[in-house]
Structure 1
Amino acid sequence: MEFDLPLIWAAIIAFAILAYVSLDGFDLGVGILFPLVPEESGHRDVMMNSVAPIWDGNETWLVLGGGGLLAVFPLAYAVVLPALYIPIIVMLLGLIFRGVAFEFRWRASEKRRIWWDRSFAFGSIVATLAQGICLGALIQGIEVVDRSFAGDRLDWLTPFSLLTGFSLVVGYTLLGATWLVMKTEGELQNLARKYSMISGLGTLILVGIASFATPFLDAQYHHRWFEGTNLLFSITIPFLLAICAAILFIGLKRHHDIRPFFAAHGIFLLCYIGIGISFYPRMVPPDITIWAAAAPEKSLQFLLVGTIFLVPIILSYTIYNYWVFRGKVDKEGGYH
Structure 2
Amino acid sequence: MNLDLPLIWAGIIAVAVLMYVLLDGFDLGVGILFPFAGSPQERDVMMDSVAPVWDGNETWLVLGGGGLFAAFPYAYAALMPALYVPILMMLMALILRGVAFEFRLRGRRRGKAFWTVAFAVGSITATVAQGFVLGGFIQGITLDEAGRFAGGRFDWLTPYTVLVAVGLVAGYALLGATWLIWKTEDELHGRARLWTWAAGATTAAMLAAVSVATLFVHPRIALRWGFDGGALDIGRLLPLSAIPLLGAVGLAVLAVGLVRRSHGWPFLGAFVVFLSGYLGLAVSFFPNIVPYDMSFREAASADNALGFMLVGVLILLPAILGYTAWVYWVFRGKVSADVGYH
Given the alignment of the two structures, is residue 295 of structure 1 paired with residue 294 of structure 2, yes or no?
no
Match of 1:213 in 2: 213
Match of 2:198 in 1: 198
Gaps of 5+ in 1: none
Answer whether contact 2:9 2:71 (CA < 8 A) is retained: yes
Match of 1:29 in 2: 29
Q: Partners in 2 of 1:81 and 1:128 — Cα distance?
A: 18
Match of 1:268 in 2: 274
Q: CA deviation at 1:290?
A: 0.7
Change (3 A) 1:253 1:228: closer
Answer whether contact 2:253 2:268 (CA < 8 A) is retained: no
Answer whether contact 1:50 1:333 (CA < 8 A) is retained: no
Q: Partners in 2 of 1:106 and 1:14 — Cα distance?
A: 33
Match of 2:93 in 1: 94
Q: CA deviation at 1:229?
A: 5.6
Change (3 A) 1:46 1:233: farther
Match of 2:54 in 1: 55
Given the alignment of the two structures, is residue 84 of structure 1 paired with residue 83 of structure 2, yes or no?
yes
Answer whether contact 2:82 2:153 (CA < 8 A) is retained: yes
Answer whether contact 1:95 1:124 (CA < 8 A) is retained: yes
Paired AA for residue 151 in structure 1: G
Match of 1:148 in 2: 148
Answer whether contact 1:177 1:196 (CA < 8 A) is retained: yes
Secondary structure of the equivalent of 1:317? helix
Q: CA deviation at 1:2?
A: 1.9
Q: Partners in 2 of 1:163 and 1:334 — Cα distance?
A: 38
Secondary structure of the equivalent of 2:289? strand
Q: CA deviation at 1:228?
A: 7.5
Name the TM-score, length of structure 1 as normaliser. 0.97
Q: CA deviation at 1:231?
A: 1.7
Given the alignment of the two structures, is residue 246 of structure 1 paired with residue 246 of structure 2, yes or no?
no
Answer whether contact 1:329 1:335 (CA < 8 A) is retained: yes
Change (3 A) 1:175 1:236: same
Q: Deviations over 1:154-213 (max 9, x none)?
A: 000001111111111110000000000000011000000000010001001001001001
Aligned partner of 2:242 among 236, 244, 249: 236
Match of 2:229 in 1: none
Aligned partner of 2:318 among 308, 312, 322: 312
Secondary structure of the equivalent of 1:148? coil
Q: Deviations over 1:45-97 (max 9, x none)?
A: 10010000010000000000000000000000001111000000000000000
Match of 1:180 in 2: 180
Answer whether contact 1:90 1:127 (CA < 8 A) is retained: yes
Given the alignment of the two structures, is residue 39 of structure 1 paired with residue 45 of structure 2, yes or no?
no
Q: CA deviation at 1:39?
A: 3.1
Match of 1:284 in 2: 290
Q: Partners in 1 of 2:135 and 2:316 — Cα distance?
A: 30
Q: Partners in 2 of 1:62 and 1:324 — Cα distance?
A: 23
Q: Partners in 1 of 2:234 and 2:326 — Cα distance?
A: 43
Report the number of matched residues: 335
Q: Deviations over 1:14-36 (max 9, x none)?
A: 00000001110000000000001
Sequence identity percentage: 53
Answer whether contact 1:76 1:283 (CA < 8 A) is retained: yes
Aligned partner of 1:329 among 325, 335, 342: 335
Q: CA deviation at 1:107?
A: 3.0
Given the alignment of the two structures, is residue 15 of structure 1 paired with residue 15 of structure 2, yes or no?
yes
Match of 2:118 in 1: 119
More displaced 10-residue stretch of structure 1: 283-292 or 104-113: 104-113
Change (3 A) 1:46 1:297: same
Answer whether contact 2:104 2:112 (CA < 8 A) is retained: yes
Paired AA for residue 23 in structure 1: L
Answer whether contact 2:141 2:149 (CA < 8 A) is retained: yes
Change (3 A) 1:38 1:109: farther
Q: CA deviation at 1:253?
A: 1.7
Secondary structure of the equivalent of 1:209? helix
Secondary structure of the equivalent of 1:13? helix
Q: Deviations over 1:254-295 (max 9, x none)?
A: 210000001100000010000000110100101000100001
Name the TM-score, length of structure 2 as normaliser. 0.96
Q: Partners in 1 of 2:235 and 2:131 — Cα distance?
A: 29
Gaps of 5+ in 2: 227-232
Q: CA deviation at 1:38?
A: 2.7
